[in-house]
Chains A and B, each alone.
Chain A
């Protein structure tokens, strides 16, 4: 019941939003809707933590072998919670932004939320694909309608790029479905698939490219900085905070346990690719002058680390990715909120034109510094736990190249400190200039959103166990399956 509610509430409220013509009411309605979703999601975590509330099955396109089957497992709970937490934060953080045809904007945002929730809970491949596209299409409209100057070209690229991935994945799904004994799309049938077969190792790439584009992993990332730069910031927050997790979830739930032996076969190849991406993106981030692009590249770098640690097949890496998915989402939304504020107030995103904001806007400076430092994984902040585990996971990889991987990951960690500190220095420190001379500090809504983020950062940084326990079972199960199959070979 809970997963269905998580999909249906944003879907219905989203549709209703289209008819609320007045901007203020539309915004308030959207915030209210997301808060309801959040409440349901928390209920799914705590009060109604009972299997019968967390699963739902009904028939849907039975002749094709598909069904409306949704379930909230640990990972689903984590990511649904992330989605549910992100939306109110995004709406609160951008409360003062105004949009043309605001009702459509908020309606589409809520539709995208429904799609995201669906992706996180779907236990049927066709349903998964359906929600995958449902999440993508509102994003397309959001970016192309409310984006920056170059939005048409950029959004086109974004859409085509991700769509190519989706189609590849659809081909893969259809192929695998034809191989299942009962011609079913359900995840159980997929998990029972045989591991042999030459085609499998190519089908692996159909899936992986789709997920890699979504994450994005080097070298499939070039849509991302452009899109983040051009999209309206609220959309960017959802894209980078929540949507990239679709790719990671896809790998964890639909790739590793399904095409295990192929994944194992390529597991010496993907981590270095992802880690090269990590260093590559970090080096580019060092040279960025545009804050939005800088944050975008830092996101690519972090995702690279997560992708790499998925393919080391140990508990540290897996659990690290789980907790980091949540941490990264929260942190990057915080960064975007402040980037949005800076852009709105000063009309520039160029580091070289900013400076001295710490004098004028101390609250902003403090909150930004905390979030930025959390982003580079300082201990007692949330990202430390994730990065510590992932890094440890990479070090404990069974591959013979693990030393090199560790060195690469370590370089990434150092470089992340370089670009983050440079960003802080150039925005907040130094003397204020003509642009920043009359800066105003944060408004209450921004303080509230960022305050919640900071509380979450420390909560998870100190008592990470609350999150780790949530996903302990699911990562254990997946690894168990991987171990069973790889040991056989």
Chain B
């Protein structure tokens, strides 16, 4: 066992074992043991991931095939894992951030009953297991298993407090919207099977590159496959038109929102496209669609976030918006920038969510920022880390968000200045609503009840330590991808990922332009923060009016979907049930029975009971037969 790549199966297996222990033993184990097992297995996976990372850093890659999952005719789908630079990076993010969130959860969820505490950790472990399957799968089907698996865990965790029907509905919504995306993913897999007879990444990409004799994609095939995969990604990564589930998913416990709905699961779509970058690069049409949809989502979600009053909803829309940025990067061909932003976003968004969890914890479950204010005095650590998160997401150098966002903006600029303009505008909105959130929550006067004010306290270390670690990562996380122009050889990430993501041809732009763009965005963001400061430092509650109301109601998209999709289907179901099923089909079937019944009742009248009439009929019929027999027959 000198090579860790031989035992990579342990990385997903450990969380799965944790899931089994916590799930089956939730009634018998104590909370602390559950917490230790739940976090411990993730820590073990994290250690293994680091080890794996060290291995692949030297350029090692490994495909481990275990058994045949499905094999029919020519098609054989192995249960196989692929370890390369891209997956090892995601392994680190998932297990690393995942571990911190597990630790945080042991404290955050401490008031739950032991049984439910165990259930929570088992779900969380199961989620990590699925997510690891997703990124480690060596073919699209294993990826799909993880893909649906994380959807399931998300469903289970959103509906974790299953007594509240609202939450359950949100869980259902998340699952079903994800399923729509999954369906497109599935069809894309079928199309790949039709063309390649295999779903292994290596085979598919080889065919796409044209290095396999007798098999090839036409341009149309590639476009359709990539578009379908992208639809799959819009479901999982909450893009237009399938984004509405993510804000509702905030019904789950806050650490869940941090892990699943910010740091890991929602980035699965980006992982999938980055993984398939060879296919995407072959289809300019799809690339444009991805860029436009991503940018539109980023803008739409940012506008909605401006007017939200639920602390988690603001962060949720911010997540949607940031994911939009990542898709913009993918669409403009900057795969590395997208992956980079996934990483930094995982740090600062997990930080922000966990910070909001700390706030909610302190406020005794209150989530409405209109009832907060002035929390900075009581929640010092939370305030500082939250501030760091806000600066990072706003994109101020040298915090991590600056580098990743700058890479995205730059690639948008190279592609098309219009894209850049809108993206920059969105980035400014981001800075504005994040600092609005910060100021309303932490500065000014406390606006809640006196009881809440009395209850205010800083969270225990199990919660603040993860916050601090994430804050540090949010600050330094960007240094792995410093642009060439600032530091020669600073862009280590691109170099690291180059075996998976081939460097695309870069348009040479002058250093002055690049400096200019950086300065422009930084300056405007700072101005935006100042603007937010003047506006919200002494926030007074007021009702939204006019356009603000439209934003507060999320552009009425949920209502629109309800009107044009959900209601008609519901009505159609009712119509089919009562009218078609009840009257038409069953009516027809029963009609046959009734007709038989009716005609026999009519014929019964012949049976008068008068012997005379029987005999008469008999004689007449005999005569008839006689006549037919003798006179009509030829």
Contacts and interface: CB of A to CB of B under 8 A. Distances in A.
Do they bind each other?
yes
Interface of A: 157, 160-161, 219, 222-223, 280, 283-284, 286-288, 314-316, 319, 356, 358-359, 362, 373, 378-380, 385, 388-389, 391-392, 395-396, 406, 410, 413-414, 417-418, 421-422, 425, 428-431, 462-465, 468, 472
B152 interface: yes
**Interface residues of chain B: helix, strand, loop or mixed (majority):** helix
B163 A430 contact: yes
Contacts of A378: 148-149, 152
A395 B168 contact: no
Nearest to B115: A362
Nearest to A479: B73
Given A410-B183, A425-B172, A429-B165, A287 B71 contact: no
Contacts of B171: 421, 425
Contacts of A219: 585
Contacts of A414: 176, 179-180, 183
Given A316-B73, A465-B68, A379 B190 contact: no
Contacts of A428: 162
A288 B569 CA distance: 14
Contact of B163 (A222, A316, A421, A431): A431
15 contacts: A161-B589, A219-B585, A283-B569, A287-B573, A314-B73, A319-B73, A358-B162, A378-B148, A395-B191, A414-B179, A417-B179, A425-B159, A464-B70, A465-B71, A468-B71
Given A396-B190, A421-B171, 15 more contacts: A219-B585, A280-B580, A286-B569, A287-B570, A379-B145, A379-B148, A395-B190, A395-B191, A406-B190, A414-B179, A418-B172, A429-B165, A429-B168, A430-B168, A472-B72
A266 B169 CA distance: 43
A286 B576 CA distance: 11
Given A431-B163, A465-B71, A157 B194 contact: no
A392 B190 contact: yes
A396 B194 contact: yes
Interface of B: 67-73, 75, 115, 141, 144-145, 148-149, 152, 155, 159, 162-165, 168-169, 171-172, 175-176, 179-180, 183, 186-187, 189-191, 193-194, 569-570, 572-574, 576-577, 580-581, 585-586, 589-590, 593
Choose among B141, B149, B581 the residue with the greatest number of A CB atoms under 10 Å from its CB.
B581
Given A319-B72, A396-B193, A464-B69, A284 B576 contact: yes
Contacts of B75: 316
A279 B145 CA distance: 25
B197 to A, nearest CB: 11
A356 B163 CA distance: 7
A404 to B, nearest CB: 13
Contacts of B164: 430
B179 A468 contact: no
Given A287-B570, A385-B70, A391-B190, A380 B175 contact: no
A392 B193 contact: yes
B247 to A, nearest CB: 19
Choose among B144, B152, B163 the residue with the greatest number of A CB atoms under 10 Å from its CB.
B163
Nearest to A373: B152
Contact of B149 (A380, A410, A421, A468): A380
A425 B589 CA distance: 34
Contacts of B576: 280, 283-284, 287
A222 B145 contact: no
Nearest to A463: B67
Contact of B168 (A380, A406, A413, A425): A425
Nearest to A318: B72
A306 to B, nearest CB: 16
A415 to B, nearest CB: 8
A157 B590 CA distance: 8
A389 B72 contact: yes
Contacts of B141: 388
Given A222-B581, A379-B148, A286 B570 contact: yes
Nearest to A425: B168
A380 B183 contact: no
Contact of B183 (A362, A413, A464): A413
Contacts of A359: 163
A468 B72 contact: yes
A447 to B, nearest CB: 13
A420 B345 CA distance: 35
A489 to B, nearest CB: 23
Contacts of B585: 219, 222
B188 to A, nearest CB: 10
Contacts of A280: 576, 580
A160 B597 CA distance: 14
B67 A429 contact: no
B70 to A, nearest CB: 6
Nearest to B159: A429
B573 A388 contact: no
A325 B577 CA distance: 27
B182 to A, nearest CB: 9
A406 B580 CA distance: 24
B580 to A, nearest CB: 8
A316 B72 CA distance: 7
